[in-house]
A and B are shown apart, each in its own frame.
Chain A
Amino acid sequence: MARGGIIGSLIVSGLAHRFGYQRVLEEIDMQVAAGEAVALVGPSGCGKTTLLNLAAGLLDPWAGCVTCSFGRPAMMFQQPRLLPWRRTRDNIALGLKAAGVARAERHAIAGGLAQRMGLSVDDLDKYPGALSGGMKSRVALARALAVRPDVLFLDEAFSALDIGLKRELYALLAAERAATGCAVLMITHDLMEAMYLADRVLVMSGSPGRIVAEHRIDLPPPARDESWVFSRTAEFVRWPDIRSAFGLPGGGG
């Protein structure tokens, strides 16, 4: 995988977090190297989203520290979170506008990205209210990629999409990573998604959330076909660590 000369890393050490008296996360140690894709999988309510928000700097940790030396982060959320009062073109170019890129240039970049994401020229002039759910997700991905991120945070970004669109966006993301060497930290409860996209899978269990297992995938993402992902996921689900984290019978926990 091309690293594109990016240097940077995200290091989380001794992290713990609480909401009030409720312990949400405990003893979290993990890191994301430049160009690496790390997936955090775990059951609903295990603190994945909190961990991602801490890593992205949207929350301040209760204890421990998050050191991020990446310079251009971007994020894709579970909902598209587009600005309803901006046209598609300006929504995609939002991060570029924030970075001070001139109007003509950022619109050109937005137009090119929209085309790669499968959006039509007409869609560029529409407001988000006139786009379908799938189109909005494409716009959200284009907005994240527009800033040429060196780290991309994905917060269950594809969980509400149909299976065909998921595959399409996986492929777009994999191609973008191959081209730019962008690191990815993603959270998901969909094990197959992790198998498609990640270089490393961290398994979390809940109350309080902690990382209980790590699994490395050596095959590069473009080489992973459907049958490989199916068999690997099936194999993964049989692990005792995974079974106990997700509360499946036979987990020994």
Chain B
Amino acid sequence: MNASTAADTAAAGASGRPGRTRLRDWIGAVGAYLWSGWGPASGILVFAAIWELTAQAVGPLILPTPGEALATLGRLLHDATVREDILITVRRALTGYGLALALGSVAGLLAGLSLTASMLARPIVTLLVGTPPIAWLILALLWFGAGDGTPVFTVFVAAFPIIFVGAMQGARTLDGELKAMARVFRLPPTMTFTDVYLPHVVSYLFPAWITALGTAWKVVVMAELLATTDGIGAALAVTRSHLDTAGSIAWIVALVGSLLAVEYLFLEPVKRRVESWREVASSAA
């Protein structure tokens, strides 16, 4: 029943163009997206159940139960300075990530379009990927001191090669047959880019963007733990020194929660929208 109405809405959205239909489609799409969250939600519940059982077995000093951790997080969130710490961390991670996303995508695409450039870039990328973030952090501390610059730079340097490689692969794997087709039909360069290159490249870029986002979140906390006096990482350092396991876990939950929020409220919907052609094609086949 549900499936058939969803299909009807989709069909109406494809052929009809009036504004009212479009609004209804949009509401339908949001509903369908939220409904699709049941799968991941059950995964999280299974994880919570395992956590609960383990916590009951080992005792609260080693591992508090999910309920205790959430209660601690709830208490923390009432505190304005805590909310500010979370926002500081998110801001630092997103700044470094945003820079990596913009520069990595553009540089990767340009490198992928030229065989020479991709050959030159390969060892540099291996070097960047291979250097541990902690080493970059040491250098960043020397260069930027204990301000925002250190976590932002470290996040940028950790996320950049991932995005660069994705973009370069996307540009390298462009279909020569479609390129020839574009030439025959005399597509102007801008249209060749938007209609032929970009949709292909995006399918390589999105996975790289999502991987890099996870990396950004890990690295920003590490950088804060060692280099700054505010943010989630600094707060974790404090809970560790107080042997406050419940507090540590509450902070970790806050961190992972903010990552999930950015990924599933922003990147994933954009990805679904941009790649809708793939879904339609595979469901029909």
Contacts and interface: CB of A to CB of B under 8 A. Distances in A.
Interface stretch (B48-56, B62-70, B204-212, B274-282): B274-282
B277 A127 contact: yes
A59 B230 CA distance: 61
B79 interface: no
A231 to B, nearest CB: 36
Q: Which of A58, A73, A85 has the most CB of B within 10 A?
A: A85
Contacts of A147: 185
A95 interface: yes
Interface stretch (A75-83, A200-208, A221-229): A75-83
B186 A99 contact: yes
Given A84-B281, A127-B277, A94 B180 contact: no
A209 B199 CA distance: 38
A97 B194 CA distance: 12
Contacts of A125: 14-15
B84 interface: no
B196 interface: yes
Contact of B196 (A53, A73, A83, A121): A83
B177 A77 contact: yes
A85 B277 contact: yes
Interface residues of B, number: 24
A130 B282 CA distance: 8
A83 B195 contact: yes
Interface string A137-166: 000000100010000010000000000000
Contact of A83 (B14, B199, B285): B199
Contacts of B240: none
Interface of A: 53, 56-58, 73-75, 77, 79, 81, 83-86, 94-95, 97-99, 121-122, 125-130, 143, 147, 153
Contacts of B181: 75, 77, 81
Given A77-B177, A86-B195, A130 B186 contact: no
Given A127-B280, A129-B284, A130-B281, A97 B177 contact: no
Nearest to A99: B186
Interface in B236-267: none
Contacts of B127: none
Contacts of A86: 195, 277
Given A75-B185, A94-B185, 14 more contacts: A58-B180, A74-B185, A75-B184, A77-B180, A81-B177, A83-B195, A84-B278, A95-B186, A97-B195, A98-B186, A126-B280, A126-B284, A129-B280, A130-B285
B188 interface: yes
Contacts of B14: 125
